[in-house]
A and B are shown apart, each in its own frame.
Chain A
Amino acid sequence: MFSLLGGVFLGWSLGANDASNVFGTAVSSKMLRFWTAACLASCFVVLGAVISGQAGIETLKGLTNFDIEQAVISSVAAALTVTLMTIFGLPVSTSQAVIGSILGIGFLNHQLNLQGLGKVVACWVGTPIGAAVVSIGLYYGLAALYNKLRLNLFQTDSLLRLSLIAAGSYGAYALGANNVANVTAVFVGAGMLSVFIAALVGGASISLGILTFSRPVMETVGKKLVQLDPFSALVVVLAMAITMHTYTLVGVPVSSSQAVIGGVLGIGIIKGVRTVNRRTLINILVAWMLTPVLSCLMALAIFFVIHLKYIPS
């Protein structure tokens, strides 16, 4: 059980960081109380992980074969990378960190599933682009419907709130389904956990992160999206959820932060305004390239440190 702590730590940091992508808009703009959002997110993350998380776990498990020690090294390296990148304020992707550390251990084992890796990297590129496309389509579709309804101010308010809760819950479900593989797939690969238990433990640790440490992140990170009007914010959350759910069906864990940024960019394209500034874009690009490399190096470093032996002269 002690070996699972690395995975639980990773799940906890994932929950603390990524819940803001789902309910950040609603909480930071006081549309929804933090505890309501946290409870909804926690429940739906676990549901998503248990019901739809298996495909992602199978993909990551298939990338390389680990023993228990390597699984622990891999998850600790990913967790440390996520923590480091967060300290430096870079928009980190847990999925990229996990893949980076799996690669590092894979190099050592001389076992790399390059076909599976190609699929994963292609999906990384596709995440923001896909979310942008989904958000553009959703915006036009929902706007036509919304304008047809001719609701008054109070009905509009009620509809937007309910929709944000529904979209956020769906987003939490998609987050759990998609990202649970990052947390516990390596332990399945090492034969330590069954797929179902891995999904349950992963989902629970993400939930723990949401319940214990997501409040400051939700209240600060979410504000970056509040500049959008409520309808656009709803579209962004929904686009993120749909994108992540689609990648869940493909079986590839992707970054919810990158999906959100893609959604926001899509709204910017429609409205002809710059919704994400150049600095944020540069940070994303830097983090996008740096995260897997850093995580890979971190895994290798931890592995070498653990295997250092004192040879008396």
Chain B
Amino acid sequence: MRSNMLKQLNISHSYLRPHLTSTFQAGKAGSMFNFLFNKEQQVQALIFAYLEIFPEIQKNFLKALQACLLSGTMCQDFDFYIKQTHKFESRADDIRDEINDLMYGKALIPDARGDIMEIIASFDMIPQLFEEILYLLQTQRLEVPSFLIQDLKELVRLSLECCDLVVQQAKLFLKKSKGIRSVASIIDKNESHCDHIERRLLTRLFDSDTDPFQKLQVKELITELGKISDRADRLTKMVSIVQMKRRV
């Protein structure tokens, strides 16, 4: 039934593809001096584990939104996916705490330590935003006017694509593959596209005859959804700067 819903909504789900890089594989990459850097290997494995969980949070967030937009906030699917989103977000939090514990245990040199902690903290702000949006919909029993749904879906699609790309960029950064800048430029484009859609949505909302109270509720939802791509864009810029800093 859920897959039918996804088909009906016809949203592109590039971010739903399986992420094949396992934590184990990432941890294996190293040098002959690996035995000297146990903590660093643990940090590396945990970061990859975090990046594996991130798409799961996105996936459940999207499914919750789709359920909400299709059947309203009263449906069972919506509540189920909120719980799933929270479950994965909480798992990601646990991994983040483990990473921080290792960092405070003096893993990595201070320079890299600060950069990693800052990147993970910025990553963590996105799932937090997902949860805030879902709770907003849940607690306010928010109904989105039908004339906004198409644009809203486009905003969600682009925003989640930004998140997907930022995960890819972080993996590229950790593996030192090429293409970090090109990913950043796609995110930048998506982010400005999201801004346009956000403005269009708000204009259409306030031009409509919708109840003023509902207008304010929906406006809050649109603004919060718009923040996803902003945070992804900020994160991608941070990753790019950290990468540039590593060159001498």
Decide whether A and B are members of one complex. yes
Interface residues of A (CB under 8 A from B): 29-31, 139, 143, 146-147, 150-158, 160-162, 226, 229-232
Chain B: CB-nearest residue to A154:
B44
A146 to B40, CA, bound (A): 20
Chain B: interface size category: 20 to 34
Assess the A151–B110 pair: CB atoms within 8 A. Answer: no
Given that A151-B176, A152-B175, A155-B31 are contacting pairs, would A30 and B246 also be in contact in the complex, using a CB cutoff of 8 Å? no
Cβ–Cβ < 8 Å partners of B37 in chain A: 154, 157-158, 161
A158 to B112, CA, bound (A): 11
Chain A: CB-nearest residue to B172:
A152
Please classify the interface of chain A as helix (H, G, I), strand (E, B), loop, or mixed, using the class held by over half of its residues. helix
B1 within 8 A of A: no
A151 to B174, CA, bound (A): 9
- Nearest-Cβ distance from residue A149 to partner chain B, whole angstroms: 9
Cβ–Cβ < 8 Å partners of B116 in chain A: 153
Assess the A231–B174 pair: CB atoms within 8 A. Answer: no
B108 within 8 A of A: yes
Assess the B248–A143 pair: CB atoms within 8 A. Answer: yes
A157 to B30, CA, bound (A): 11
B20 within 8 A of A: no
25 contacting pairs across A/B (C-beta < 8 A): A29-B109, A29-B110, A30-B110, A139-B248, A143-B248, A147-B247, A147-B248, A150-B176, A152-B175, A152-B176, A153-B112, A153-B116, A153-B174, A153-B242, A154-B30, A154-B37, A154-B40, A154-B174, A156-B112, A157-B37, A157-B112, A158-B30, A226-B110, A229-B248, A230-B110
A143 to B111, CA, bound (A): 17
Assess the B248–A161 pair: CB atoms within 8 A. Answer: no
A116 to B141, CA, bound (A): 91
Cβ–Cβ < 8 Å partners of A30 in chain B: 106, 110
B33 within 8 A of A: yes
Given that A31-B109, A158-B33 are contacting pairs, would A153 and B115 also be in contact in the complex, using a CB cutoff of 8 Å? yes
CB-contact partner of A229 in B33, B106, B111, B173, under 8 A: B111
Cβ–Cβ < 8 Å partners of A139 in chain B: 248
A154 to B26, CA, bound (A): 11
A29 to B242, CA, bound (A): 19
What are the 7 closest A-B residue pairs judged by CB atoms, nearest first? A152-B176, A143-B248, A30-B106, A231-B248, A157-B112, A157-B108, A29-B110
Chain B: CB-nearest residue to A29:
B110
A152 to B173, CA, bound (A): 7
Assess the B173–A153 pair: CB atoms within 8 A. Answer: yes
A157 to B41, CA, bound (A): 11
B:17-50 near A, CB below 8 Å: 30-31, 33, 36-37, 40-41, 43-44
A149 to B110, CA, bound (A): 21
